[in-house]
């Protein structure tokens, strides 16, 4: 994850976003870790991605 993103998003919110992605059916894989920096990939179908977008929008509405 780029330092730009991680500076604006606390670790807990990053984990919450990844959990939303998993719940939507996206696959989150840990590609590697150097020190505290994790390198992760997200993969899945367009349908899963759209479910994730809907779930993310719902969290912003509350």
Position 1 pLDDT exceeds 70: no
Task: Please answer whether residues 24 and 51 qualify as being in contact, where contact means their C-beta atoms are separated by less than 8 angstroms.
Answer: yes
Q: What does the alpha-carbon distance between residue 52 and residue 25 come to, in Å, rounded to a whole number? A: 8
Cβ–Cβ contacts within 10 Å for residue 51, how many? 18
Task: Please answer whether residues 27 and 44 qualify as being in contact, where contact means their C-beta atoms are separated by less than 8 angstroms.
Answer: yes
21-59 per-position pLDDT tens digit: 999 999 999 999 999 999 999 999 999 999 999 999 998
Q: How many residues does the chain have?
A: 62
Kindly calculate the radius of gyration of the chain based on its CA atoms and give it in whole angstroms.
12
Can you give the pTM of this predicted structure? 0.76
């Amino acid at each position: 994850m780029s330092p730009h993103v991680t500076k604006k998003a606390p670790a807990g919110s990053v984990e919450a976003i990844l959990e939303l992605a998993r719940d939507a059916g996206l696959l989150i894989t840990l590609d590697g870790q150097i020190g505290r920096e994790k390198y992760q990939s997200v993969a899945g179908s367009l349908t899963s991605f759209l479910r994730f977008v809907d779930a993310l929008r719902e969290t912003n509405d509350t």
